[in-house]
Structure 1
């Protein structure tokens, strides 16, 4: 009887061990499968082939609004600069010297007073990594607040020859207007002016790149500032907003469309994936009524209408060529 019990015990132990090994193998296969799917998604996203990507897959895999980890980023309206730091520490961006982070506040003293427990550490970290930080930059009037002129030129001020993505996280006036309708109007005006300002800035980059070999930047500046329509830029624009009222009433997509920006995609802002990021109010470290990381937010990614149409035309031309062959 003792031998039978011993055999049963051994069989039970072997079966348990076998199941554990199977579970381990399944887990490893799942990880490999996820990696393959992620690589395929990235490739399809870059080439524009979305036939095999479901909407759910796009939402699950998209975390940051830029495509490549060395893209040139231009961030406006940063609070304590914890978002920029999180991009680097969470390994989403690999080339900090390609990041330009700006704040509406005019001085380090002002930022230290507003964010006494976080700003200094974040600022020192970013400076050490080579991030370019600029203060006193108005997201609704970029060219003027960046002091871009005929003499300086956009490339000399920002030390880059293009931008890949402009990011504005959780835009807010900070005015605290209680009247709902006035509050909505103020934020719609903020967004409208931001899109216009982004168009003007990108227009100067286009003008610079079109004329950099002819040394006629002054003329290109004059032309673009008189006609702010941008053509052919490949920079994307991102706005993150909380879901629900009053944010839904700001009509972000409609405002973007009126300025020739078309929604490329939207996806969930996943707080837990941004190590150390703290959403801050525009006037202090005080928390909002509800904790920021308990509030649902979405990232809205926009592309220029002309660029999208051009990509679509190129895709159709390529398909026609393939069919002819």
Structure 2
């Protein structure tokens, strides 16, 4: 007799072993979103331009060339006390080097009185070689006012009149400020892209010439008894972030003159609408005499360096230490 086979039932699938329960130790200390937030915040700080002045500051602009920077901070940053200086001796020499400069001159010389007749390009400007006092237009500017219309004049009060004292001064050497400028203390002295021009094709000589220019400029800004830099004021110098400019060692030049670097930051030309980098020797032209537009300095990476008097920086550092209970802090910092 044949043996019967036992029917085998299929095995039931085995359940996976239960994972041991983890003890609840409270909220995790790790916050994965926090680094991302910090990175985003730092990126915003990195992208936002640094404006090293306020509208009410007394601002001295040195070596302004085509005056596009001066016009921009007056128009778009509402600066009302700007003294823009150029090395050129008069209006004719300035126009010869920068043919489009008249538009910017008009902005510098513009007064808020809408009923006043328009000024000529050279009207309201003075030369450092001329009288020490202000021009008639500059003196009258103290009584001028700018009223900005509100959206609803019936409900909103009109702001107080703002005195406008912007002016242009010709024939100003950055190393030899005239008494008409030196006797007025300025909160900010700004020298964008200083350069002596094409004195030599040798890189080492060019570096030395420009170092001498900056040291003399620093020393003159601090000269006593009539120093153009006010107490608590700062000097801002902007340079390209490439050779040969990095060879100038601007930090050391400032220390040599009695200054200390407060901070530095990226110069962003886009923060100044209408600004265009102008070369020391004027507009670049091709062999046909046509204006060349191939080189744009405003697109090149640049950095601004903010200097203050050493003793004033030391006072600030001491105040911070006392405020923080003696914690050490460094003032020589860079902002990305």
**TM-score w.r.t. length of structure 2:** 0.62
Is contact 2:259–2:307 with CA below 8 Å preserved after alignment? yes
CA distance in 1, matches of 2:183, 2:226: 12
Partner of 2:93: 110
Alignment of 1:91-240 (within 5 A): 92=77, 94-96=78-80, 98-116=81-99, 118-129=100-111, 130-142=165-177, 146=178, 148=179, 157-158=180-181, 161-200=184-223, 203-205=225-227, 233-240=231-238
Give the Å deviation of 1:283. 1.5
CA distance in 1, matches of 2:238, 2:182: 26
Deviates more, 1:279-288 or 1:178-187: 279-288
Give unmatched runs, 5+ long, in structure 2: 1-40, 112-164, 285-291, 327-336
Q: What secondary structure is seen at the aligned counterpart in 1 of 2:265?
A: strand
Give the Å deviation of 1:106. 0.6
Matched, 1:79 2:114: no
Change (3 A) 1:168 1:159: closer
Partner of 1:312: 317
Give the Å deviation of 1:185. 0.8
Give the Å deviation of 1:293. 2.7
Q: What secondary structure is seen at the aligned counterpart in 2 of 1:233?
A: strand
Alignment of 1:241-320 (within 5 A): 241-286=239-284, 290-319=295-324
Give the Å deviation of 1:284. 1.3
Query: Larger radius of gyration, structure 1 or 2?
Result: 2
Change (3 A) 1:195 1:57: farther
Is contact 1:269–1:297 with CA below 8 Å preserved after alignment? yes
Is contact 2:277–2:296 with CA below 8 Å preserved after alignment? no
Partner of 1:211: none
Q: Aligned pairs, how many?
A: 226
What do you get for the CA RMSD once the two structures are aligned? 2.6
CA distance in 2, matches of 1:107, 1:193: 23
Give the Å deviation of 1:266. 1.1
Give the Å deviation of 1:306. 0.6
Partner of 1:65: 52
Give unmatched runs, 5+ long, in structure 1: 1-53, 149-156, 207-229
Residues 194-243 of structure 1 deviation map (CA, whole Å, 9 limit, x = unaligned) = 11111116x5259xxxxxxxxxxxxxxxxxxxxxxx9x821100100011
**Bigger share in helix:** 1
Q: What secondary structure is seen at the aligned counterpart in 2 of 1:234?
A: strand
